Chain A
Amino acid sequence: MDLFSNLALGFGVALTLKNLFYCFIGALFGTLIGVLPGIGPLATIAMLLPITFHLEPTGALIMLAGIFYGAQYGGSTTAILVNLPGESSSVVTALDGYQMARQGRAGVALATAALASFFAGCVATIVIAVAAPALSRMALLFGPPEFTALMLMGLVAAVVLATGSIVASIGMVMIGMLLGLIGTDLTTGEQRFTFDVREIFDGIDFVVVAMGLFGVSEIISNLADRHTRELPATKITRLLPTKQDFLQAAPATIRGTLLGSILGVLPGGGALVSSFASYSLEKRLATDPSRFGKGAIEGVAGPEAANNAGAQASFIPMLALGIPPNAVMALMIAAMTIHGITPGPKFLTDQPTLFWGMIASMWIGNLILVVLNLPLVGLWVKLLKIPYAYLFPMILVFCCVGVYSINYRVFDVFLMAGFGVFGYCLRRIGCEPAPLVLGFILGPMLEEQFRRTLLLSDGDFLVFVTRPLSATLIGVTVLLLVMMALPTLRKGRESAFRE
C-alpha cells in the first residue's frame, strides 16, 4: 500500500526527537496565543518567520503548522470562559459555550471542545493523507460564481445563529455587511466610508470588531446590571461530560468534522463558513432548537469540530497546489520560499519527506494538544473563581494588548472601545452581535466575488444557474430560506387570523 509506506515515511520524519520537539513547541505556543485574546496565529507566525531563517525547513514548518492548529484549539478557551472570541471561528463557540459556562458547566464545555477538536483533527489528517490531490482539484472547480453562491449560503445561515427575532438578525447581518465594506474598493481602488482616516483604508480588522462587540460589551453589561450578575464560579459541578452530554455531542462532532473537512479546502473563508454551517445544521436537526443559545452542548461540539477539521483541511490546497486559502497559509508559503522550497503542484513529488512529515506531525500535534489541554481545563475553570472586580480589568488589558498587536496602532484600541459601547447598546435593544460579525466577514467576500462574476460575464446573471456547482449551492440556499420562512409565515398567518 502506497498510503502506508508514505505514512511510515512521514512518521519516520515526524518522530525524530528534533521534530517532536518543534511539534511540541508549536502546539504549546499555539495554545498560549490562542488563549490570549486577539494575539492570533497570523501575528505570531509573522513574528517568528525571521527565526526560521536559521532552522531546517521541516522542523520550521512543523512548528509553524503547530502554532496554527494549536491556536484554533486555544481560541475556544476564552470564548467559552469570558465570551471573548479571539479567532473568527470561535465566534460560534462563544454562543453556547459561554452560556454553558454561566450555568457552571465551563469544564464540560472546555472538555467537549477539546475532545471534538481532537477527533476532528485526527479525521482531517487522514483525509489529507488519503485525498489531498483529489480534494485540491475541487478548489479549482470553484470560480467566482461558486464562491458567490457559497457566501450567500453562509449569510443565510447567519440568520439562524440568532435566538431572537429574525428581522433583528437580518438587520444585524446588514449592518455587519456595511461595516465590512469600509475601506478600499477592490475593483476601482476608491475609498469607501473612510472619511480620509488612513487607519481604516484597509478596512476594520475582524479582531477589533469581535473583541469590542463580544468582550468589551460583555464587561460593560456585567458591570451595569450588578444584581442580576451571577458568577459562574458559584456552582461549578463537574469538569468532564456526562454520558448524556457525550451522546448529544458525538453525532454533532461527526457532522461538524465532515463539514469542516470539505469546506476547509475552499480558499477564502471555507473553514470559517463550516463552523457557522455546522451550528445552523445542529440547530435544524435538534428536536428542541430553542435550547440553542442557552447552552446546548451540540452548539459547542459541532462548530468546534468543523473549525478544527477546516483548519487542518486548509493545508490541502496549500500543500497540493501552492494556493493559500487564508492569510496564515500565505505566510506558510512565505516560510517555504525562505528555504527555497516552492509549494505548488510538484511539491508532493519533489518533497515527499517534507509533505508526509508535516502530515504525520499534524496527527502527533493533535495528540499533544489534547494531552496538554485536558488537564488545563481544571486550571482554566479556576480562573473564573477570581472575583469579577479583578478579572475584568485583566480581560480588558488583554483585549487592548491583542488589538494593539495587530497593526501596532492605538487607533485600533479606541475603535474596539467604540464597538464595545455599540455592542452594549445592541444588547439593550435585544439585538445579537453574532449575525453582525458574520455579515462583517462574509459581506466583503460576497461583494468581491459577486462583482467579479458579473465583470467576467459582462453583467449576465444567468451564469449563477448555468454552472452546475453554483446552481446547486443557490438551490440549497433557497431551500434554507424557505425552511426558515415557513414557521414565521405560519405564525404570521395565525396572528393575522386572530385579528
Chain B
Amino acid sequence: MIKAWAICGIAIATAISTIVPAAAVYPERPITTIVAWPAGGATDLVARGLQEALGKSLGQQVIVKNVPGAAGTIGTSEAAAATADGYTILITPSGPTVAQPHRMKLTYDLSSFDPICKLVEQPLVLMATKSTKYKTIADLIAAAKAAPGKITYGTSGPGSITHLAKLALEKAADIKLKHVPFKGSADAVQALLSDTVDLYSDQANLVPQYDLLPIAIYGETRSDNFKDTPTVRETGFDVVMTNYNAIFVPAGTPDAVKTKLGQACKAALDDEKVKEIYGRQKYPIAYQDAAAFKTYVEADYKRVKDLVEAAGLGKK
C-alpha cells in the first residue's frame, strides 16, 4: 500500500515537473548570451549594449559569454548544441548562420536555430577615397568593362559580407573586379587610404571617419546620413547587402519561452539607454519579430548560398 502511494507520488511529482514547463516561471535563473567573437568586437558591443535592458525586461541577469574562433562557428556550434530551454541564446551577425554553413563542414545549420528577433541592421556602403576615378556606379562599370579584372576591390576576407557584396555586384552588372582580401576592415581601410586598393564596402560610419567618398549604398532605400548617395538598386542593379545582428535560440525551445524572449527583446530595443548606446555606435535599430525575421533570414540563406556556390567558395 505504502509502496503504491509512493509510486503514485513519484508519478505525480514527475508529471508536475514535466507538465509545468520551465516557461511558467521562465526565466528563473540568469540567461547566457553567446557571442562568437572576442570581447570588444562589433558583435560583442551589440550584445553588451543590450545586456542590461534585456536583463531588466526579463527580470533576470543576462551574461555575455565570448566564444571566439573560426569565423564565429565555434561559438555558434556551442549555442546550437545548448539545451533548448531559453537559458542559452545567441546574438550573431549573418556570417555564421547564413554564410558559413555553405562554406564549412559544421555541426549545425540555420535550421538548428529558431529566430527570436532582428536587432540592428545597416546597409553596406561602396566607398573609395575622394580622389578616386570612379565617382559613380556608371563610371565603375564602364571602367570595369574596358579593363576586366583590373579594378581592385578590398574585402575583409573570402566569404565575408564585404566579399558577398562584391560578388553580388559583379553578378548583377556582369563585370569582373580583382578581389584583394584583408584580415579585417581596419587593414582594408588602410589599403584604401594608401591607394593599394580602389574600392571597399563596409559600414557607413567609416565614410565620415576617414573622409571617404560614398559611391553607392547597398540598401533598399537611401540613407538619412547620405541623402545624395544613390542606392545600387537605383542605378539599375538589384543588389542589396546589409549587415544585421539578431537573436536566435536552439531549435526546439518551447514557444512560451520564445514569446517571452521576443517581448523582452522588443522592450529592450525601446529602452532609452539602449537607443542612446546604439546611437553613439551608429547601429540603426531595425527590430523584426520572430515571424517576419524567419522569412527574412531564410530568404537571405538561399541568396547567400547561390552567391557562395557560384563563386566557387562552397565546401568541397
Contacts and interface: CB of A to CB of B under 8 A. Distances in A.
B157 A186 contact: yes
B210 A47 contact: no
Contacts of A53: 48, 277
B159 A45 contact: no
A493 B117 CA distance: 75
B194 A331 contact: no
A256 interface: no
Contacts of B190: 139-140, 267, 321, 323
Interface stretch (A219-227, A278-286, A339-347, A372-380): A339-347
B194 A334 contact: no
A53 B280 CA distance: 11
A344 B45 contact: no
B74 interface: yes
Contact of B73 (A46, A198, A334): A198
A188 interface: yes
Contacts of B152: 456
A391 B41 CA distance: 37
A430 interface: no
A189 B313 contact: yes
B73 A321 contact: no
B210 A331 contact: no
Given A50-B39, A187-B181, A455-B180, A342 B280 contact: no
B69 A198 contact: yes
A139 B195 CA distance: 12
A142 interface: yes
Contacts of A201: 69-71, 73-74
Given A323-B190, A340-B281, A198 B48 contact: no
Contact of B205 (A184, A187, A324, A342): A342
The residue among A334, A335, A408 with the most chain B CB atoms within 10 A of its own CB is: A334
Interface string A452-490: 100110000000000000000000000000000000000
B111 interface: no
B222 to A, nearest CB: 22
Nearest to A347: B209
* Interface range for B: 35 or more
B196 A143 contact: yes
A460 to B, nearest CB: 13
Interface string B11-23: 0000000000000
Nearest to A146: B194
Given A201-B70, A456-B196, A330 B186 contact: yes
B155 to A, nearest CB: 11
Nearest to A187: B181
A207 to B, nearest CB: 14
A144 interface: yes
A344 B159 contact: no
B183 interface: yes
B67 A202 contact: no
Given A46-B40, A196-B105, A448 B183 contact: yes
Given A189-B159, A448-B183, A339 B194 contact: no
Contacts of A346: 211
A324 B186 contact: yes
Contacts of A3: none
Given A186-B158, A189-B158, A330-B186, 17 more contacts: A46-B40, A50-B39, A53-B48, A140-B194, A184-B71, A187-B158, A189-B181, A196-B105, A202-B69, A321-B210, A322-B209, A333-B186, A334-B45, A338-B280, A408-B67, A455-B178, A456-B180
25 contacts: A45-B40, A46-B38, A46-B39, A139-B194, A143-B191, A143-B194, A187-B181, A188-B158, A189-B159, A189-B181, A202-B68, A202-B69, A267-B187, A321-B193, A322-B210, A330-B184, A333-B186, A334-B40, A337-B280, A342-B209, A344-B209, A344-B211, A455-B178, A456-B180, A456-B196
7 closest A-B pairs (Cβ-Cβ)?
A: A189-B158, A201-B70, A340-B280, A46-B39, A344-B209, A342-B209, A140-B194
